[in-house]
Chains A and B, each alone.
Chain A
Amino acid sequence: MEFRSVEEEDIKDIHRRQNEEDMYDLSAFFETNPPFIPMSLEQTKEKVEKMRGRDGSSLFMVVDVGRPVGMGYWSGGWDPRAPFLLVVIWRGERGKGFGAAAVRAMLDRLFNETVAEVVHTYVTTDNHEGIDFAKKVGFRKQGAMRRVGIRDGKFYDGVFLDITYDEYMEGLR
């Protein structure tokens, strides 16, 4: 499991995935509204550049033996004491442990190599798989923003989850 920068060839693949099997996950990742509209290659590039251009933020590819299996985003721009972390594993690569390995590797670096005291993430309630995954890797639910979107005719909420340094260390024991 390793991380590397998002390169030109990755953008083409991200674009294809947003237009196909990973549309809703990548639309959430890039905050595209509405989420069901396919982006052009140029729009995908703009979204990538915008995210990694944010102050104190990084976009990275999650790679397994040289093969990209997903993407991640880290941001300490608001407050590096409480950075935000997002990881999305491509739909066809789930269930193989890549997500858990990526999150644990990032938590290890954030807690042991930065000023982070808590790491938070965000998953919408229409993404049950994502919420279960976040809890599995140690994040705890801290409430939800109501009505962040509509899916299948129903409102869905945005769940706050976080893990503190002490909880992370406790989980390692």
Chain B
Amino acid sequence: MDKLWGETVRLVPVREEHHRYFADLKNDFRTQGWSQRQAPTWTAERIAEGIRKSKNQKHGGILAIETLDGTLAGNINFHEDSPRFSATIGIITGMEHWGKPYVREAQELILKYLFVERGVQVVRLWTQSGNVRAVAAAGKLGFKVAGKTRHGCLMGGISTDNLCMDIVREEYFKRRGMEDPHPWTKGKG
């Protein structure tokens, strides 16, 4: 990979003009991306502060998702919990972009970066059992439900489970018909 650019989408550093849109996504419970129903008090300034703090991360960050014509679709965040070993990703997009192929490509780009360029063994994401759409979308990428905290979330007043989903290295390459360029002999005992 040369950049995190695909055929329909680019992952780029967040710019000041993105902040307002990201604040709007956070203020809408349907796109907020958290299981806690945080108060809708996000502003562009608050987003800017969060982006500034994220730039101190050595092994992670937040990238804006832009289509090739420059339309902002949302953002994707990633963090290597244990550098070169495991990572967690998250994505938040506008409802008008849900189900679009470029959103899936954005996730494929970050997965390829983590598994191929960074060499991690596993990638995880968190969602909720009540978010059927998100669980299905993650399943299409190859993520499996790993574990949960029962009743860990409250959505629309209904108690749902907090879910951890993961995909290990071998599953990533096999599912995509790719050969692992750097298979590990470690870890299997």
Contacts and interface: CB of A to CB of B under 8 A. Distances in A.
Interface of A: 33, 78-79, 81-82, 117-118, 120, 142-150, 152-155, 158-160, 162, 164
Interface residues of B, number: 27
A150 to B, nearest CB: 6
Given A79-B36, A153-B186, A147 B152 contact: no
Interface in B111-140: 121-122, 124
B171 to A, nearest CB: 10
B188 interface: yes
Interface of B: 35-36, 82, 85-86, 121-122, 124, 145-154, 159, 162, 164, 166, 168, 186-189
A120 B184 CA distance: 33
Contact of B148 (A142, A147, A153, A164): A142
B147 A142 contact: yes
Given A147-B121, A148-B86, A162 B186 contact: no
Given A82-B162, A147-B121, A160-B147, A153 B86 contact: no
10 contacts: A82-B149, A117-B159, A118-B149, A143-B145, A144-B147, A147-B86, A147-B121, A154-B187, A160-B164, A162-B150
A25 to B, nearest CB: 19
A150 B184 CA distance: 12
A153 B189 contact: yes
Q: Do most interface residues of chain A lie in helix, strand or loop, or is the interface mixed?
A: strand
Contacts of B152: 79, 81-82, 118, 120
Kindly name the residue among B153, B162, B188 whose own CB sees the greatest number of chain A CB atoms within 10 A.
B162
Contact of B150 (A118, A148, A159): A118
A99 B85 CA distance: 32
B86 A143 contact: no
B149 A120 contact: yes
A145 B149 contact: no
Nearest to B162: A82
Nearest to A158: B147
A155 B188 contact: yes
B151 A81 contact: yes
Given A155-B188, A162-B150, 16 more contacts: A79-B35, A81-B154, A82-B149, A120-B149, A142-B150, A143-B146, A145-B146, A145-B164, A148-B86, A149-B82, A153-B186, A154-B187, A154-B188, A155-B121, A158-B147, A160-B147
B150 A150 contact: no
Contacts of B168: 146-147
B141 to A, nearest CB: 16
B188 A160 contact: no
